[in-house]
Amino acid sequence: MTRILVVDDDNAIRSAMEAYINMDGFQTASVASAEEAIEHLQTFGPVDVVITDIMMEGMSGLELTDYIRNNYDTDVIIMTGYSAEYSYEEAIRRGASDILFKPARFEEILLRLKRVLRERKLTHEREVMLAKLQELSITDELTGLYNSRHFHARIAKEAERFRRNHHPLSLLLLDIDHFKTYNDTYGHLEGDQVLMRMGDIIRNSLRSMDSAYRYGGEEFTILLPETDAEEALVVAHRIQESLLSAQFFPAGTSEPVPITVSVGITEYMEEEAVVTFIQRADMAMYCSKNNGRNQITSLLSNDQRKCIQCLNSWSSGNPS
Protein backbone atom coordinates (compact mmCIF):
# COMPACT_ATOMS: atom_id res chain seq x y z
CA MET A 1 0.00 0.00 0.00
CA THR A 2 1.18 3.53 -0.80
CA ARG A 3 2.47 5.26 2.34
CA ILE A 4 2.10 9.02 2.92
CA LEU A 5 3.50 11.15 5.75
CA VAL A 6 1.97 14.58 6.55
CA VAL A 7 4.19 17.07 8.42
CA ASP A 8 2.50 20.21 9.78
CA ASP A 9 2.63 21.97 13.15
CA ASP A 10 -1.06 22.97 12.89
CA ASN A 11 -2.96 20.16 14.60
CA ALA A 12 -6.26 20.87 12.84
CA ILE A 13 -4.75 20.96 9.33
CA ARG A 14 -2.59 17.90 10.00
CA SER A 15 -5.47 15.78 11.32
CA ALA A 16 -7.84 16.83 8.55
CA MET A 17 -5.31 16.08 5.82
CA GLU A 18 -4.49 12.69 7.28
CA ALA A 19 -8.18 11.74 7.45
CA TYR A 20 -8.96 13.01 3.93
CA ILE A 21 -6.01 11.23 2.28
CA ASN A 22 -6.81 8.01 4.19
CA MET A 23 -10.33 8.10 2.77
CA ASP A 24 -8.86 7.69 -0.72
CA GLY A 25 -7.18 4.41 0.20
CA PHE A 26 -3.70 5.57 1.18
CA GLN A 27 -1.88 4.56 4.36
CA THR A 28 -1.27 7.93 5.99
CA ALA A 29 0.52 9.05 9.12
CA SER A 30 1.12 12.56 10.44
CA VAL A 31 3.64 14.32 12.69
CA ALA A 32 4.00 17.86 14.03
CA SER A 33 7.61 18.70 13.11
CA ALA A 34 10.49 17.91 10.78
CA GLU A 35 12.36 16.31 13.65
CA GLU A 36 9.41 13.98 14.32
CA ALA A 37 9.26 13.22 10.59
CA ILE A 38 12.90 12.10 10.59
CA GLU A 39 12.29 9.96 13.68
CA HIS A 40 9.25 8.41 11.97
CA LEU A 41 11.27 7.56 8.85
CA GLN A 42 14.09 6.08 10.91
CA THR A 43 11.68 4.01 13.01
CA PHE A 44 9.11 2.85 10.46
CA GLY A 45 11.10 3.04 7.26
CA PRO A 46 10.74 5.21 4.17
CA VAL A 47 7.39 6.35 2.79
CA ASP A 48 6.41 7.10 -0.80
CA VAL A 49 5.55 10.79 -0.37
CA VAL A 50 6.04 13.35 2.39
CA ILE A 51 3.71 16.39 2.38
CA THR A 52 5.31 19.04 4.56
CA ASP A 53 4.63 22.61 5.62
CA ILE A 54 7.56 24.90 4.90
CA MET A 55 7.51 27.07 8.05
CA MET A 56 7.77 25.11 11.31
CA GLU A 57 9.51 25.46 14.63
CA GLY A 58 13.03 24.05 14.45
CA MET A 59 13.95 22.49 11.11
CA SER A 60 12.11 24.00 8.16
CA GLY A 61 10.30 22.10 5.44
CA LEU A 62 13.08 22.92 2.97
CA GLU A 63 15.72 21.53 5.33
CA LEU A 64 13.58 18.42 5.80
CA THR A 65 13.36 18.09 2.03
CA ASP A 66 17.15 18.23 1.76
CA TYR A 67 17.48 15.50 4.38
CA ILE A 68 14.87 13.23 2.79
CA ARG A 69 16.23 13.53 -0.74
CA ASN A 70 19.75 12.75 0.49
CA ASN A 71 18.73 9.69 2.49
CA TYR A 72 15.56 8.15 1.04
CA ASP A 73 13.84 7.32 -2.23
CA THR A 74 10.89 9.51 -1.25
CA ASP A 75 9.10 12.32 -3.04
CA VAL A 76 8.28 15.55 -1.19
CA ILE A 77 5.40 17.98 -1.69
CA ILE A 78 5.94 21.34 0.05
CA MET A 79 3.10 23.53 1.30
CA THR A 80 3.59 27.22 2.03
CA GLY A 81 1.51 30.32 2.66
CA TYR A 82 4.46 32.57 1.84
CA SER A 83 4.33 32.68 -1.97
CA ALA A 84 6.40 35.84 -2.14
CA GLU A 85 9.29 34.33 -0.18
CA TYR A 86 9.42 30.81 -1.59
CA SER A 87 9.20 30.20 -5.33
CA TYR A 88 8.35 27.01 -7.17
CA GLU A 89 11.87 27.04 -8.65
CA GLU A 90 13.48 27.23 -5.19
CA ALA A 91 11.41 24.31 -3.90
CA ILE A 92 12.25 22.16 -6.91
CA ARG A 93 15.92 23.09 -6.63
CA ARG A 94 15.92 21.86 -3.04
CA GLY A 95 14.49 18.52 -4.15
CA ALA A 96 10.71 18.91 -3.85
CA SER A 97 8.51 17.20 -6.43
CA ASP A 98 5.79 19.86 -6.17
CA ILE A 99 4.76 22.93 -4.17
CA LEU A 100 1.30 23.97 -2.92
CA PHE A 101 0.36 27.46 -1.81
CA LYS A 102 -1.99 27.78 1.14
CA PRO A 103 -4.87 27.85 1.50
CA ALA A 104 -5.17 24.74 -0.67
CA ARG A 105 -8.35 22.72 -1.01
CA PHE A 106 -8.05 19.08 0.01
CA GLU A 107 -9.22 18.08 -3.48
CA GLU A 108 -6.26 19.93 -4.99
CA ILE A 109 -3.84 18.35 -2.50
CA LEU A 110 -5.13 14.92 -3.46
CA LEU A 111 -4.83 15.67 -7.20
CA ARG A 112 -1.25 16.87 -6.76
CA LEU A 113 -0.43 13.82 -4.63
CA LYS A 114 -1.77 11.44 -7.29
CA ARG A 115 0.19 13.24 -10.01
CA VAL A 116 3.42 12.91 -8.02
CA LEU A 117 2.68 9.22 -7.42
CA ARG A 118 2.07 8.65 -11.16
CA GLU A 119 5.37 10.32 -12.04
CA ARG A 120 7.09 8.34 -9.30
CA LYS A 121 5.74 5.07 -10.75
CA LEU A 122 6.84 6.02 -14.27
CA THR A 123 10.30 6.96 -13.00
CA HIS A 124 10.72 3.62 -11.23
CA GLU A 125 9.48 1.71 -14.28
CA ARG A 126 11.97 3.61 -16.44
CA GLU A 127 14.79 2.83 -14.02
CA VAL A 128 13.89 -0.88 -14.04
CA MET A 129 13.79 -0.91 -17.84
CA LEU A 130 17.14 0.86 -18.11
CA ALA A 131 18.67 -1.59 -15.62
CA LYS A 132 17.37 -4.51 -17.68
CA LEU A 133 18.75 -2.99 -20.88
CA GLN A 134 22.10 -2.44 -19.18
CA GLU A 135 22.13 -6.05 -18.00
CA LEU A 136 21.28 -7.29 -21.50
CA SER A 137 24.11 -5.24 -22.99
CA ILE A 138 26.72 -6.99 -20.83
CA THR A 139 25.23 -10.50 -20.77
CA ASP A 140 25.76 -13.39 -23.15
CA GLU A 141 22.29 -14.45 -24.25
CA LEU A 142 23.04 -18.17 -24.53
CA THR A 143 24.90 -18.89 -21.29
CA GLY A 144 23.66 -16.08 -19.04
CA LEU A 145 27.27 -15.24 -18.17
CA TYR A 146 28.76 -11.82 -18.85
CA ASN A 147 30.03 -11.17 -22.39
CA SER A 148 33.53 -10.39 -23.60
CA ARG A 149 32.89 -6.64 -23.80
CA HIS A 150 32.07 -6.55 -20.10
CA PHE A 151 35.08 -8.77 -19.38
CA HIS A 152 37.49 -6.19 -20.79
CA ALA A 153 35.82 -3.41 -18.81
CA ARG A 154 35.84 -5.43 -15.59
CA ILE A 155 39.39 -6.74 -15.82
CA ALA A 156 40.67 -3.18 -16.22
CA LYS A 157 38.86 -2.20 -13.00
CA GLU A 158 40.17 -5.25 -11.15
CA ALA A 159 43.73 -4.46 -12.27
CA GLU A 160 43.31 -0.90 -11.00
CA ARG A 161 42.06 -2.27 -7.67
CA PHE A 162 45.14 -4.50 -7.52
CA ARG A 163 47.38 -1.47 -7.98
CA ARG A 164 45.64 0.28 -5.07
CA ASN A 165 45.34 -2.62 -2.62
CA HIS A 166 47.98 -5.12 -3.79
CA HIS A 167 45.63 -8.02 -3.15
CA PRO A 168 46.05 -11.03 -5.45
CA LEU A 169 44.03 -11.31 -8.65
CA SER A 170 43.82 -14.49 -10.71
CA LEU A 171 42.42 -15.26 -14.13
CA LEU A 172 41.16 -18.56 -15.51
CA LEU A 173 40.73 -19.19 -19.22
CA LEU A 174 38.79 -22.34 -20.15
CA ASP A 175 38.28 -23.87 -23.58
CA ILE A 176 35.97 -26.82 -24.29
CA ASP A 177 38.03 -29.61 -25.87
CA HIS A 178 37.15 -30.80 -29.39
CA PHE A 179 34.08 -28.58 -29.45
CA LYS A 180 34.20 -28.12 -33.24
CA THR A 181 34.13 -31.89 -33.67
CA TYR A 182 31.17 -32.11 -31.26
CA ASN A 183 29.29 -29.46 -33.25
CA ASP A 184 30.07 -31.14 -36.58
CA THR A 185 28.97 -34.53 -35.25
CA TYR A 186 25.81 -33.67 -33.31
CA GLY A 187 24.80 -30.25 -34.65
CA HIS A 188 24.90 -26.70 -33.35
CA LEU A 189 21.75 -27.05 -31.25
CA GLU A 190 23.44 -29.79 -29.24
CA GLY A 191 26.54 -27.65 -29.05
CA ASP A 192 24.46 -24.82 -27.63
CA GLN A 193 23.19 -27.19 -24.93
CA VAL A 194 26.80 -27.89 -23.93
CA LEU A 195 27.56 -24.17 -23.75
CA MET A 196 24.50 -23.52 -21.58
CA ARG A 197 25.39 -26.37 -19.20
CA MET A 198 28.95 -25.09 -19.07
CA GLY A 199 27.65 -21.67 -18.05
CA ASP A 200 25.63 -23.24 -15.23
CA ILE A 201 28.58 -25.29 -14.01
CA ILE A 202 30.88 -22.27 -13.94
CA ARG A 203 28.31 -20.07 -12.23
CA ASN A 204 27.69 -22.67 -9.52
CA SER A 205 31.43 -23.04 -8.86
CA LEU A 206 32.10 -19.40 -7.97
CA ARG A 207 31.88 -17.11 -4.96
CA SER A 208 29.83 -13.92 -5.00
CA MET A 209 32.94 -11.78 -5.56
CA ASP A 210 34.00 -13.80 -8.64
CA SER A 211 32.74 -13.13 -12.16
CA ALA A 212 32.53 -15.35 -15.23
CA TYR A 213 32.33 -14.51 -18.93
CA ARG A 214 31.78 -16.19 -22.25
CA TYR A 215 34.92 -14.96 -23.93
CA GLY A 216 33.98 -16.16 -27.39
CA GLY A 217 32.79 -19.38 -29.02
CA GLU A 218 33.65 -22.19 -26.61
CA GLU A 219 36.04 -20.11 -24.49
CA PHE A 220 35.23 -18.82 -21.00
CA THR A 221 37.10 -16.58 -18.61
CA ILE A 222 36.79 -16.21 -14.84
CA LEU A 223 38.10 -13.32 -12.75
CA LEU A 224 38.99 -14.24 -9.17
CA PRO A 225 39.71 -11.20 -6.95
CA GLU A 226 41.49 -11.72 -3.64
CA THR A 227 42.73 -15.06 -5.03
CA ASP A 228 46.24 -16.28 -5.82
CA ALA A 229 47.09 -18.90 -8.45
CA GLU A 230 47.13 -21.75 -5.93
CA GLU A 231 43.61 -20.90 -4.75
CA ALA A 232 42.49 -20.48 -8.35
CA LEU A 233 43.61 -24.04 -8.99
CA VAL A 234 40.97 -25.22 -6.49
CA VAL A 235 38.28 -23.43 -8.52
CA ALA A 236 39.54 -25.01 -11.75
CA HIS A 237 39.44 -28.49 -10.21
CA ARG A 238 35.92 -27.83 -8.92
CA ILE A 239 34.75 -26.95 -12.44
CA GLN A 240 36.44 -30.00 -13.96
CA GLU A 241 34.90 -32.31 -11.36
CA SER A 242 31.42 -30.84 -11.93
CA LEU A 243 31.84 -31.26 -15.67
CA LEU A 244 32.98 -34.85 -15.20
CA SER A 245 29.84 -35.69 -13.22
CA ALA A 246 27.58 -33.99 -15.78
CA GLN A 247 26.27 -36.25 -18.53
CA PHE A 248 25.67 -35.10 -22.09
CA PHE A 249 23.31 -37.15 -24.26
CA PRO A 250 23.14 -35.62 -27.74
CA ALA A 251 20.03 -36.52 -29.74
CA GLY A 252 20.22 -40.03 -31.14
CA THR A 253 22.79 -41.29 -28.62
CA SER A 254 22.25 -43.86 -25.89
CA GLU A 255 25.58 -43.33 -24.14
CA PRO A 256 26.82 -40.05 -22.64
CA VAL A 257 29.45 -38.14 -24.61
CA PRO A 258 32.27 -36.90 -22.35
CA ILE A 259 32.96 -33.16 -22.34
CA THR A 260 36.25 -31.83 -20.98
CA VAL A 261 37.95 -28.46 -20.76
CA SER A 262 41.52 -27.25 -20.97
CA VAL A 263 42.24 -24.60 -18.36
CA GLY A 264 44.89 -21.92 -18.07
CA ILE A 265 45.54 -20.08 -14.80
CA THR A 266 47.64 -17.02 -14.16
CA GLU A 267 48.05 -14.33 -11.54
CA TYR A 268 48.31 -10.60 -12.13
CA MET A 269 51.78 -9.13 -11.72
CA GLU A 270 52.78 -5.69 -10.52
CA GLU A 271 52.69 -2.96 -13.19
CA GLU A 272 52.00 -5.30 -16.13
CA ALA A 273 49.64 -4.43 -18.96
CA VAL A 274 46.22 -6.05 -18.82
CA VAL A 275 46.70 -7.46 -22.30
CA THR A 276 49.84 -9.28 -21.08
CA PHE A 277 47.84 -10.73 -18.19
CA ILE A 278 45.21 -12.08 -20.60
CA GLN A 279 47.79 -13.41 -23.06
CA ARG A 280 49.54 -15.36 -20.30
CA ALA A 281 46.28 -17.09 -19.34
CA ASP A 282 45.79 -17.89 -23.03
CA MET A 283 49.30 -19.36 -23.17
CA ALA A 284 48.63 -21.49 -20.11
CA MET A 285 45.40 -22.78 -21.62
CA TYR A 286 47.17 -23.82 -24.83
CA CYS A 287 49.82 -25.56 -22.77
CA SER A 288 46.98 -27.63 -21.30
CA LYS A 289 45.79 -28.47 -24.81
CA ASN A 290 49.29 -29.33 -25.99
CA ASN A 291 49.78 -31.65 -23.02
CA GLY A 292 46.77 -33.80 -23.90
CA ARG A 293 43.73 -31.65 -23.10
CA ASN A 294 41.52 -31.99 -20.03
CA GLN A 295 44.46 -30.43 -18.18
CA ILE A 296 45.03 -27.44 -15.90
CA THR A 297 48.17 -25.34 -16.35
CA SER A 298 49.26 -22.53 -14.03
CA LEU A 299 51.61 -20.07 -15.67
CA LEU A 300 53.16 -17.21 -13.73
CA SER A 301 55.19 -14.46 -15.34
CA ASN A 302 58.57 -15.99 -14.51
CA ASP A 303 57.48 -19.42 -15.82
CA GLN A 304 56.92 -18.36 -19.42
CA ARG A 305 60.29 -19.58 -20.63
CA LYS A 306 59.27 -23.11 -19.57
CA CYS A 307 56.47 -23.13 -22.13
CA ILE A 308 58.34 -22.57 -25.42
CA GLN A 309 57.01 -25.80 -26.91
CA CYS A 310 53.48 -24.91 -25.86
CA LEU A 311 53.81 -21.40 -27.24
CA ASN A 312 54.98 -22.79 -30.58
CA SER A 313 51.86 -25.00 -30.69
CA TRP A 314 49.75 -22.03 -29.68
CA SER A 315 51.19 -19.85 -32.44
CA SER A 316 50.64 -22.55 -35.07
CA GLY A 317 46.92 -22.65 -34.22
CA ASN A 318 46.19 -26.11 -32.85
CA PRO A 319 42.57 -27.19 -33.32
CA SER A 320 40.28 -26.95 -30.31
Q: Which residues are catalytic?
A: 218
- Taking phi first (over 0 means left), then psi (-120 to 50 degrees means alpha), and beta for anything else, what does residue 318 get? beta
Instruction: Give the Cα separation of 72 and 181 in Å (integer).
Output: 56
Instruction: Give the Cα separation of 298 and 170 in Å (integer).
Output: 10
- Residue 160 to residues 17, 169, 227, 275, Cα–Cα distance (Å): 54, 11, 15, 14
Q: What angle do CA 183, 187, 192 make, to 5 degrees?
A: 75
Q: In 10 A of CB 93, how many CB atoms?
A: 10
**What stretch of H or E contains 191?**
helix 188-203
- Residue 283 to residues 33, 99, 144, 278, 304, Cα–Cα distance (Å): 67, 64, 26, 9, 9
